[in-house]
């Protein structure tokens, strides 16, 4: 048993855990972050292959422009001093078939540019832009697909507007407007890329925590939370070490947390049951491309490419890739040419399940073949917008839901936490509180995924410990 009792223990060092750690450390709390992996950062960590660092879950960030809440939080934590680069006014280019459609930063630009292509939908676009700016938790039970069809009469425009939400699991029957709107509005309000890899953010937050005497421990897998009826008494690691703290924050998937809770109160039982019943979002397949020098010019926007206007539910066609996101890494040597490109497409757990017995480092030949085929399909699609791409590739590295399961313990390799459902917001949207007085949740599974969503949830988590007024001071 570790004799010390810490102020705060944080389980998991994803962005949510690190933001909570940094905010609480800055407020004078003694923080310990426990991470099961050998590396901190969760989905925003970078990994090295050869001389290149590749990102996992960080391609662009919305809501970073001055005056927006994320900008205030990042400024408070010193993250605005990192090398951010504003993306082009047209930050997302949507390509469906052989036609291209711009998604612009700024609400007026957004409406005007699409109205030029869809003049008969100008009023609807204005209504839509207004709605996106006034979204509230009441919209959790509004279905996004229904809302879009009530607002727009042009099916192609609905596809264009939904195309960049590829990472959201566009399920017609259940996607809440709340999530759809958040995924889009923050980027329209300001889209930014980091010049460098995600580890810059991770290391900065580590510095903030360590500066005040806080600690981050890797290879520290939590396996059990010893509880009485109201509180967590101690946290136990796989290697037998036991830690005590006044408050515990969980940044891990609630299904994992539920398996660790050792306590029999009715509240805990309800919490565990509810978490067992929630479903997970799909995973992502990423082909990370290392390019030959001076072959492909850097494009300061993302390109979403679809074969056909079937953006909603397109991922159910697991065998072939019919939509891909192309994201380029800002050249760090000041050159006009890009050296790394990520191609992303959703991937269902079912597609991976056949290989799920294999562990990292022992993947079967057929798994590698499947990854190769999928990467080629992504590259073929990407070539429509980036001619010459296939010839310019030096190496291709791939990741699948299995990668997320094995490196980050993500159940079913989910990429964006638990599935939210407008038909049952009470069950599928979480809160940062739990039945245990000193256990709080944070991270993408609580409410919204993404850098903005996770950061704002982390603030909500810290509010439970710091109180409303202290948190409001930071955001002022």
Scan residues 428-457 and list those touching ligand FAD (CB under 6 A): 443-444, 449-451, 454
Among 25, 32, 52, 61, binds ligand FAD (CB under 6 A): 61
Burial class (CB in 10 A: 0-12, 13-18, 19+), 387: exposed
As a whole number of angstroms, the distance between CA 342 and CA 378 comes to: 10
Question: Closest approach of Cβ 83 to ligand FAD, in Å?
Answer: 17
CA distance 44 to 118: 37
Q: Which of 29, 47, 54, 60 binds ligand FAD (CB under 6 A)?
A: 60
Residue 346 to residues 144, 238, 265, 384: CA-CA distances in angstroms? 19, 32, 39, 19
x-or-dash string of contact with ligand FAD, 283-312, rule CB under 6 A: -x-x--------------------------
CA distance linking residue 417 with residue 409, whole number of Å: 12
Structure tokens at 11: 């389980």
Total residues interacting with ligand FAD, rule: CB under 6 A: 37
In the block, which residue shows the tokens 């310990």? Answer: 32
Shortest Cβ distance from residue 249 to ligand FAD (Å)?
10
DSSP H helix total and E strand total for the chain? 17, 20
Residue from the set 6, 10, 13, 206 that interacts with ligand FAD by CB under 6 A: 13
> Based on CB atoms, which residue is closest to ligand FAD, 152 or 236?
236
Applying the rule CB under 6 A, the residues between 396 and 415 that interact with ligand FAD are: 408-409, 415
Which residue is associated with the tokens 């978490």? 275
What x/- string results for residues 246 through 275 when contact with ligand FAD is judged by CB under 6 A? -----xx---x-------------------
d(CA 316, CA 204): 39
* Separation CA 352–CA 354 (nearest Å): 6
Q: Is the CB of 21 or the CB of 435 nearer to ligand FAD?
A: 21
| Range 286-308 burial, b when 16+ CB lie within 10 A, else e | bbbbbbeeeebeebebbbbbbbe
Specify the residue, 121 or 275, whose C-beta has the smaller distance to ligand FAD: 275
Collapsing DSSP to helix, strand or coil, 240 comes out as coil
State the DSSP H helix or E strand holding residue 61, giving kind and residue range, or none if neither.
strand 61-62
Asked if residues 143 and 420 have their Cβ atoms less than 8 Å apart, the reply is: no
Give the nearest distance from C-beta 151 to ligand FAD in angstroms: 25
Token pair belonging to 331: 């050249």
Please state the closest distance from residue 458 (CB atom) to ligand FAD, in A: 7
Question: Nearest 10 degrees: CA dihedral of 269, 270, 271, 276?
Answer: 90
Among 8, 10, 11, 232, binds ligand FAD (CB under 6 A): 11
Name the minimum Å distance from CB 391 to ligand FAD: 26
Strand pairing of 323-328 and 302-306? antiparallel
DSSP annotation of 363: -
Q: Which is nearer to ligand FAD, 223 or 427 (CB)?
A: 223
Cβ(169)–Cβ(449) under 8 Å?
no
Among 16, 401, 411, 413, binds ligand FAD (CB under 6 A): 16
Least distance (Å) from ligand FAD to the CB of residue 169?
A: 12
Residue least distant from ligand FAD (Cβ): 14
The rounded radius of gyration (Å) of the Cα atoms in the chain is 22
**Between 35 and 54, how does the x/- string for binding to ligand FAD read (CB under 6 A)?**
xxx----xxx----------
Rule CB under 6 A: is residue 420 a binding residue for ligand FAD? no
Sole window of 34-42, 80-88, 365-373, 465-473 interacting with ligand FAD (rule: CB under 6 A): 34-42
Q: For binding to ligand FAD (CB under 6 A), which residues are involved?
A: 11-17, 34-37, 42-44, 56-61, 221-222, 251-252, 256, 284, 286, 344, 408-409, 415, 443-444, 449-451, 454
């Amino acid at each position: 048993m570790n004799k010390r009792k810490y102020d705060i223990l944080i389980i998991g060092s994803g962005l949510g855990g690190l933001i909570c750690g940094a905010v609480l450390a800055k407020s004078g709390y003694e923080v310990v972050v426990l991470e099961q992996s050998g590396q901190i950062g969760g989905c925003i960590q970078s990994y090295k292959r050869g001389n290149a660092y590749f990102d996992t879950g960080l391609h662009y960030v919305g809501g970073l422009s001055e005056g927006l809440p994320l900008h205030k939080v990042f400024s408070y934590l010193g993250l605005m001093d990192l090398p951010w680069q504003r993306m082009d006014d047209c930050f997302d280019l949507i390509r469906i078939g052989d036609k291209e459609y711009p998604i612009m930063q700024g609400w007026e630009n957004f409406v005007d540019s699409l109205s030029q292509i869809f003049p008969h939908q100008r009023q609807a676009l204005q209504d839509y832009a207004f709605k996106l700016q006034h979204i509230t938790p009441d919209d959790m039970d509004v279905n996004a697909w229904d809302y879009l069809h009530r607002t727009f009469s042009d099916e192609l425009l609905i596809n264009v507007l939904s195309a960049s939400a590829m990472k959201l699991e566009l399920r017609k029957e259940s996607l809440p407007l709340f999530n759809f709107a958040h995924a889009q509005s923050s980027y329209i309000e300001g889209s930014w890329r980091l010049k460098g890899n995600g580890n810059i953010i991770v290391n900065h937050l580590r510095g903030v925590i360590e500066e005040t005497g806080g600690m981050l421990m890797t290879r520290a897998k939590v396996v059990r939370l010893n509880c009485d009826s109201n509180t967590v008494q101690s946290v136990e690691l796989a290697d037998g070490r036991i830690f005590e703290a006044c408050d515990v924050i969980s940044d891990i998937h609630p299904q994992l947390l539920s398996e660790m809770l050792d306590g029999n109160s009715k509240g805990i039982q309800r919490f565990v049951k509810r978490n067992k019943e929630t479903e997970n979002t799909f995973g992502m397949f990423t082909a990370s491309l290392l390019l030959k020098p001076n072959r492909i010019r850097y494009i300061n926007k993302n390109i979403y490419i679809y074969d056909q206007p079937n953006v909603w539910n397109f991922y159910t066609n697991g065998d072939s890739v019919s939509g891909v996101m192309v994201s380029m890494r800002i050249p760090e040597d000041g050159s006009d040419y890009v050296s790394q490109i990520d191609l992303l497409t959703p991937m269902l757990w079912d597609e991976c399940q056949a290989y799920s017995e294999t562990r990292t480092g022992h993947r079967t030949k057929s798994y590698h073949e499947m990854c190769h085929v999928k990467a080629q399909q992504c590259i073929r699609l990407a070539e429509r917008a980036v001619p010459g791409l296939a010839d310019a590739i030096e190496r291709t590295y791939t990741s699948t839901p299995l990668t997320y399961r094995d490196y980050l313990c993500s159940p079913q390799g989910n990429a964006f936490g638990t599935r939210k459902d407008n038909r049952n917001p009470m069950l599928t949207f979480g809160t940062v509180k739990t039945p245990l007085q000193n256990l709080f949740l944070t991270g993408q599974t609580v409410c919204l995924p993404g850098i903005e969503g996770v950061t704002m949830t982390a603030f909500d988590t810290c509010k439970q410990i710091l109180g409303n007024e202290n948190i409001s001071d930071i955001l002022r």
